[in-house]
Structure 1
Amino acid sequence: ILCLTGMLSLDAQTPVKNEQTEKKTKSAPKGIQWISLKEAEAKMKVEPKKVYIDLYTDWCYWCKVMDKKTFTNPSVIEYLNQHFYCIHIDAETKDSILFQGKKYGCLPNSKTNDLAVQWMKDRISYPSSIFMEEGFVNPQPVPGYLEI
Protein backbone atom coordinates (compact mmCIF):
# COMPACT_ATOMS: atom_id res chain seq x y z
CA ILE A 1 0.00 0.00 0.00
CA LEU A 2 2.86 2.41 0.82
CA CYS A 3 4.51 1.71 -2.54
CA LEU A 4 1.24 2.30 -4.38
CA THR A 5 0.63 5.56 -2.50
CA GLY A 6 4.16 6.73 -3.32
CA MET A 7 3.74 5.92 -7.01
CA LEU A 8 0.37 7.67 -7.18
CA SER A 9 1.71 10.78 -5.47
CA LEU A 10 4.61 10.88 -7.93
CA ASP A 11 2.20 10.43 -10.80
CA ALA A 12 -0.05 13.19 -9.43
CA GLN A 13 2.92 15.58 -9.49
CA THR A 14 3.61 14.89 -13.16
CA PRO A 15 2.21 17.79 -15.17
CA VAL A 16 -0.69 16.84 -17.39
CA LYS A 17 -0.56 18.29 -20.88
CA ASN A 18 -3.84 19.66 -21.98
CA GLU A 19 -4.87 21.37 -25.17
CA GLN A 20 -4.27 24.86 -23.74
CA THR A 21 -0.72 23.97 -22.58
CA GLU A 22 0.12 22.52 -25.98
CA LYS A 23 -1.18 25.63 -27.78
CA LYS A 24 0.91 27.87 -25.52
CA THR A 25 4.01 25.78 -26.21
CA LYS A 26 3.43 25.81 -29.96
CA SER A 27 2.83 29.56 -30.09
CA ALA A 28 5.75 30.49 -27.82
CA PRO A 29 8.62 32.21 -29.66
CA LYS A 30 11.62 30.03 -30.36
CA GLY A 31 14.06 32.83 -29.64
CA ILE A 32 14.44 36.43 -28.68
CA GLN A 33 12.21 38.65 -30.79
CA TRP A 34 14.87 41.01 -32.15
CA ILE A 35 13.47 44.07 -33.89
CA SER A 36 15.08 47.02 -35.60
CA LEU A 37 15.57 50.36 -33.90
CA LYS A 38 13.06 51.85 -36.34
CA GLU A 39 10.47 49.19 -35.41
CA ALA A 40 11.09 49.80 -31.71
CA GLU A 41 10.54 53.54 -32.14
CA ALA A 42 7.21 52.87 -33.89
CA LYS A 43 6.07 50.29 -31.31
CA MET A 44 7.08 52.58 -28.43
CA LYS A 45 4.46 55.11 -29.58
CA VAL A 46 1.69 52.49 -29.40
CA GLU A 47 2.84 50.35 -26.47
CA PRO A 48 5.61 51.83 -24.30
CA LYS A 49 8.06 49.23 -23.03
CA LYS A 50 11.59 49.07 -21.68
CA VAL A 51 14.39 48.51 -24.19
CA TYR A 52 17.27 46.03 -24.27
CA ILE A 53 20.01 46.64 -26.82
CA ASP A 54 22.75 44.12 -27.55
CA LEU A 55 25.77 45.92 -29.01
CA TYR A 56 28.05 43.43 -30.73
CA THR A 57 30.68 43.22 -33.45
CA ASP A 58 31.33 40.53 -36.06
CA TRP A 59 34.81 39.79 -34.71
CA CYS A 60 33.89 39.62 -30.99
CA TYR A 61 34.30 36.10 -29.55
CA TRP A 62 32.23 36.79 -26.39
CA CYS A 63 29.44 38.30 -28.49
CA LYS A 64 29.14 34.96 -30.30
CA VAL A 65 29.18 33.06 -26.99
CA MET A 66 26.36 35.26 -25.71
CA ASP A 67 24.39 34.55 -28.90
CA LYS A 68 24.85 30.79 -28.45
CA LYS A 69 24.44 30.49 -24.67
CA THR A 70 22.75 33.47 -23.04
CA PHE A 71 20.30 34.32 -25.82
CA THR A 72 19.18 30.69 -26.23
CA ASN A 73 18.35 30.20 -22.54
CA PRO A 74 14.54 29.71 -22.33
CA SER A 75 14.24 31.84 -19.17
CA VAL A 76 16.19 34.70 -20.75
CA ILE A 77 14.13 34.46 -23.94
CA GLU A 78 10.84 34.54 -22.05
CA TYR A 79 11.87 37.41 -19.76
CA LEU A 80 13.34 39.63 -22.47
CA ASN A 81 10.44 39.04 -24.87
CA GLN A 82 7.89 39.79 -22.17
CA HIS A 83 9.43 42.94 -20.68
CA PHE A 84 11.58 44.57 -23.38
CA TYR A 85 11.82 45.60 -26.98
CA CYS A 86 15.02 43.77 -27.95
CA ILE A 87 17.40 45.28 -30.48
CA HIS A 88 20.57 43.65 -31.85
CA ILE A 89 22.99 46.23 -33.31
CA ASP A 90 26.43 45.84 -34.86
CA ALA A 91 28.30 48.67 -33.13
CA GLU A 92 30.73 48.88 -36.05
CA THR A 93 28.15 49.07 -38.81
CA LYS A 94 29.22 51.25 -41.72
CA ASP A 95 25.57 52.14 -42.32
CA SER A 96 24.26 55.27 -40.69
CA ILE A 97 21.64 54.82 -37.98
CA LEU A 98 18.61 57.09 -37.78
CA PHE A 99 17.40 57.40 -34.19
CA GLN A 100 14.89 59.91 -32.84
CA GLY A 101 15.27 62.08 -35.91
CA LYS A 102 19.07 62.24 -35.78
CA LYS A 103 21.53 60.46 -38.09
CA TYR A 104 24.51 58.66 -36.50
CA GLY A 105 27.56 57.29 -38.28
CA CYS A 106 31.18 56.44 -37.65
CA LEU A 107 33.40 59.34 -36.71
CA PRO A 108 36.63 59.83 -38.69
CA ASN A 109 39.35 57.44 -37.46
CA SER A 110 36.77 55.35 -35.58
CA LYS A 111 35.27 51.94 -36.29
CA THR A 112 32.41 52.40 -33.84
CA ASN A 113 29.12 54.09 -34.67
CA ASP A 114 28.68 57.33 -32.75
CA LEU A 115 25.32 56.21 -31.31
CA ALA A 116 26.92 53.06 -29.89
CA VAL A 117 29.68 55.19 -28.33
CA GLN A 118 27.03 57.44 -26.80
CA TRP A 119 25.07 54.48 -25.38
CA MET A 120 28.25 52.91 -23.96
CA LYS A 121 29.10 56.30 -22.42
CA ASP A 122 32.51 56.35 -24.15
CA ARG A 123 33.50 53.01 -22.53
CA ILE A 124 33.85 50.82 -25.61
CA SER A 125 33.45 47.15 -24.70
CA TYR A 126 31.97 44.20 -26.56
CA PRO A 127 29.52 42.82 -26.02
CA SER A 128 27.66 45.60 -24.24
CA SER A 129 24.09 45.36 -23.01
CA ILE A 130 22.19 48.62 -22.90
CA PHE A 131 19.07 48.80 -20.73
CA MET A 132 16.69 51.74 -21.20
CA GLU A 133 13.47 52.88 -19.63
CA GLU A 134 10.32 53.37 -21.70
CA GLY A 135 10.79 56.07 -24.30
CA PHE A 136 14.49 55.25 -24.81
CA VAL A 137 15.54 57.22 -21.72
CA ASN A 138 18.25 56.67 -19.13
CA PRO A 139 20.53 54.25 -21.03
CA GLN A 140 22.44 52.01 -18.63
CA PRO A 141 25.36 50.19 -20.27
CA VAL A 142 26.49 46.86 -18.86
CA PRO A 143 29.80 45.99 -20.53
CA GLY A 144 30.95 42.43 -21.12
CA TYR A 145 29.62 38.92 -21.45
CA LEU A 146 26.52 38.13 -19.40
CA GLU A 147 26.46 34.49 -18.38
CA ILE A 148 23.29 32.78 -17.26
Structure 2
Amino acid sequence: MKKIIVIVMFSWFGLHSLEVEAQTIQWTSFDNLTDSLRKERRPLLVFIHTDWCKYCKMMEVKTFTDPLIVNTLNRSFYCLDLNAEEARSLTFLNKKYKFKPSGVNTGIQELAEILGTENGKLSYPTIVFFDQNLQVQNRVVGALEAKQLLKLLPVNE
Protein backbone atom coordinates (compact mmCIF):
# COMPACT_ATOMS: atom_id res chain seq x y z
CA MET A 1 0.00 0.00 0.00
CA LYS A 2 2.83 2.39 0.83
CA LYS A 3 4.41 1.71 -2.56
CA ILE A 4 1.17 2.64 -4.31
CA ILE A 5 0.95 5.92 -2.38
CA VAL A 6 4.56 6.76 -3.21
CA ILE A 7 4.02 5.94 -6.90
CA VAL A 8 0.84 8.05 -7.02
CA MET A 9 2.60 10.99 -5.32
CA PHE A 10 5.58 10.88 -7.71
CA SER A 11 3.22 10.59 -10.68
CA TRP A 12 1.18 13.57 -9.50
CA PHE A 13 4.26 15.72 -8.89
CA GLY A 14 5.68 14.66 -12.26
CA LEU A 15 2.48 15.62 -14.09
CA HIS A 16 2.22 18.84 -12.12
CA SER A 17 5.77 19.84 -13.06
CA LEU A 18 5.00 19.15 -16.75
CA GLU A 19 1.98 21.41 -16.47
CA VAL A 20 4.13 24.20 -15.01
CA GLU A 21 6.73 23.77 -17.76
CA ALA A 22 4.01 24.07 -20.40
CA GLN A 23 3.09 27.50 -19.03
CA THR A 24 6.12 29.39 -20.32
CA ILE A 25 6.65 32.06 -22.92
CA GLN A 26 8.03 30.78 -26.22
CA TRP A 27 10.95 33.19 -26.52
CA THR A 28 12.10 33.60 -30.12
CA SER A 29 15.84 33.78 -30.67
CA PHE A 30 17.33 36.74 -32.48
CA ASP A 31 18.77 34.29 -35.01
CA ASN A 32 15.32 32.87 -35.85
CA LEU A 33 13.25 36.07 -35.81
CA THR A 34 13.62 36.88 -39.51
CA ASP A 35 12.55 33.37 -40.54
CA SER A 36 9.60 33.47 -38.14
CA LEU A 37 8.45 36.81 -39.55
CA ARG A 38 8.65 35.46 -43.10
CA LYS A 39 6.31 32.63 -42.14
CA GLU A 40 3.82 34.76 -40.23
CA ARG A 41 3.67 38.47 -39.41
CA ARG A 42 2.94 39.16 -35.76
CA PRO A 43 3.54 41.97 -33.30
CA LEU A 44 6.78 41.76 -31.36
CA LEU A 45 7.46 42.17 -27.65
CA VAL A 46 11.05 42.81 -26.52
CA PHE A 47 11.77 42.31 -22.81
CA ILE A 48 14.92 44.24 -21.83
CA HIS A 49 16.41 43.15 -18.52
CA THR A 50 19.60 42.31 -16.60
CA ASP A 51 20.59 39.34 -14.47
CA TRP A 52 20.86 41.45 -11.30
CA CYS A 53 17.53 43.33 -11.55
CA LYS A 54 15.09 42.07 -8.90
CA TYR A 55 12.11 43.64 -10.69
CA CYS A 56 13.09 41.86 -13.90
CA LYS A 57 13.25 38.56 -12.00
CA MET A 58 9.82 39.26 -10.50
CA MET A 59 8.38 39.70 -13.99
CA GLU A 60 10.07 36.50 -15.19
CA VAL A 61 8.74 34.51 -12.23
CA LYS A 62 5.26 36.02 -11.87
CA THR A 63 4.13 38.00 -14.91
CA PHE A 64 5.60 35.81 -17.64
CA THR A 65 4.23 32.63 -16.07
CA ASP A 66 0.65 33.84 -15.73
CA PRO A 67 -1.43 31.46 -17.90
CA LEU A 68 -3.37 34.25 -19.63
CA ILE A 69 -0.18 36.18 -20.44
CA VAL A 70 1.55 33.01 -21.67
CA ASN A 71 -1.38 32.02 -23.89
CA THR A 72 -1.84 35.52 -25.32
CA LEU A 73 1.82 36.11 -26.05
CA ASN A 74 2.44 32.64 -27.47
CA ARG A 75 -0.64 32.85 -29.69
CA SER A 76 -0.33 36.42 -30.98
CA PHE A 77 3.25 37.69 -30.56
CA TYR A 78 6.89 36.96 -31.12
CA CYS A 79 8.77 37.58 -27.89
CA LEU A 80 12.45 38.45 -27.61
CA ASP A 81 14.39 38.19 -24.36
CA LEU A 82 17.15 40.84 -24.38
CA ASN A 83 19.71 40.83 -21.58
CA ALA A 84 21.06 44.39 -21.68
CA GLU A 85 24.48 43.21 -20.50
CA GLU A 86 24.84 40.33 -22.95
CA ALA A 87 28.34 40.43 -24.42
CA ARG A 88 27.67 38.69 -27.74
CA SER A 89 26.74 40.56 -30.90
CA LEU A 90 23.10 40.41 -31.95
CA THR A 91 21.42 40.82 -35.31
CA PHE A 92 18.03 42.52 -35.26
CA LEU A 93 16.15 43.54 -38.40
CA ASN A 94 19.21 42.84 -40.54
CA LYS A 95 21.50 45.11 -38.52
CA LYS A 96 24.28 43.95 -36.21
CA TYR A 97 24.52 45.32 -32.65
CA LYS A 98 27.57 44.96 -30.44
CA PHE A 99 28.39 44.96 -26.76
CA LYS A 100 29.84 48.29 -25.65
CA PRO A 101 32.25 47.82 -22.72
CA SER A 102 32.15 50.55 -20.09
CA GLY A 103 34.67 49.15 -17.61
CA VAL A 104 36.07 45.89 -16.33
CA ASN A 105 33.44 43.18 -16.95
CA THR A 106 30.73 45.81 -17.46
CA GLY A 107 29.01 47.28 -20.46
CA ILE A 108 25.78 47.41 -22.38
CA GLN A 109 24.34 45.78 -25.47
CA GLU A 110 23.83 48.48 -28.14
CA LEU A 111 20.40 47.13 -29.07
CA ALA A 112 19.14 47.39 -25.48
CA GLU A 113 20.39 50.96 -25.32
CA ILE A 114 18.75 51.94 -28.61
CA LEU A 115 15.40 50.26 -27.92
CA GLY A 116 15.09 50.92 -24.20
CA THR A 117 16.44 54.41 -23.62
CA GLU A 118 13.80 56.91 -22.65
CA ASN A 119 14.58 60.52 -21.70
CA GLY A 120 18.30 59.72 -21.92
CA LYS A 121 18.12 56.83 -19.45
CA LEU A 122 17.87 53.05 -19.74
CA SER A 123 15.96 51.47 -16.86
CA TYR A 124 15.16 47.84 -16.12
CA PRO A 125 12.90 46.18 -16.90
CA THR A 126 11.69 47.80 -20.10
CA ILE A 127 9.26 46.29 -22.59
CA VAL A 128 9.16 47.54 -26.16
CA PHE A 129 6.15 46.73 -28.33
CA PHE A 130 6.39 46.59 -32.12
CA ASP A 131 3.44 46.18 -34.48
CA GLN A 132 3.36 43.46 -37.13
CA ASN A 133 5.20 45.83 -39.52
CA LEU A 134 8.01 46.14 -36.96
CA GLN A 135 7.30 49.77 -36.07
CA VAL A 136 7.75 50.69 -32.41
CA GLN A 137 4.32 51.27 -30.87
CA ASN A 138 5.05 51.61 -27.17
CA ARG A 139 7.82 51.48 -24.58
CA VAL A 140 6.96 50.66 -20.98
CA VAL A 141 9.54 51.17 -18.24
CA GLY A 142 9.24 49.32 -14.94
CA ALA A 143 7.88 46.06 -13.64
CA LEU A 144 4.39 45.06 -14.67
CA GLU A 145 2.01 42.61 -13.10
CA ALA A 146 0.05 40.31 -15.39
CA LYS A 147 -3.12 42.45 -15.32
CA GLN A 148 -1.16 45.58 -16.20
CA LEU A 149 0.60 43.86 -19.09
CA LEU A 150 -2.65 42.43 -20.45
CA LYS A 151 -4.12 45.95 -20.70
CA LEU A 152 -1.09 47.07 -22.74
CA LEU A 153 -1.02 44.22 -25.24
CA PRO A 154 -2.06 45.53 -28.65
CA VAL A 155 -3.89 42.37 -29.67
CA ASN A 156 -5.61 42.59 -33.04
CA GLU A 157 -8.33 39.98 -32.97
TM-score w.r.t. structure 2 length? 0.70
1:59-112 Cα offsets, whole Å, 9 max, x none, are 111111111110111111111111100111111101011122221112352722
Percent identity between the aligned chains?
33
Are the structure 2 counterparts of residues 108 and 30 from structure 1 closer, same or farther at C-alpha, using a change threshold of 3 Å?
A: closer
Q: Which residue of 2 aligns with 1:60?
A: 53
**Deviation for aligned residue 1:37:** 1.7
Equivalent in the alignment of 1:93: 86
32, 42, 50: which is aligned to 2:35?
42
Are residues 1:138 and 2:140 paired?
no
In the TM superposition, what are the counterparts of 1:8-23 in structure 2 within 5 Å? none
How far, CA to CA, are the matches of 1:43 and 1:66 in structure 2?
25
1:147 aligned to which of 145, 148, 151: 145
TM-score (norm 1): 0.74
Change in CA separation of 1:74 and 1:103 when aligned onto 2, cut-off 3 Å = same
> Is the 2:23–2:66 contact (alpha carbons within 8 Å) kept by the matching residues of 1?
no
Aligned equivalents of 1:145, 1:40: Cα separation in 2:
25
Does structure 2 retain, via aligned residues, the 8 Å contact 1:91–1:116? Answer: yes
Q: Is the 8 A contact 2:50 2:83 kept in 1?
A: yes
The equivalent of 1:113 in structure 2 is 109
Letter in 2 for 1:141: R
Letter in 2 for 1:37: F
RMSD value over aligned CA atoms? 2.0
Q: Distance in 2 between matches of 1:60 and 1:75?
A: 24
Given the alignment, which residue of 70, 95, 102 partners 2:95?
102
Instruction: Extract structure 1 runs of 4+ deviating beyond 4 A.
Output: none
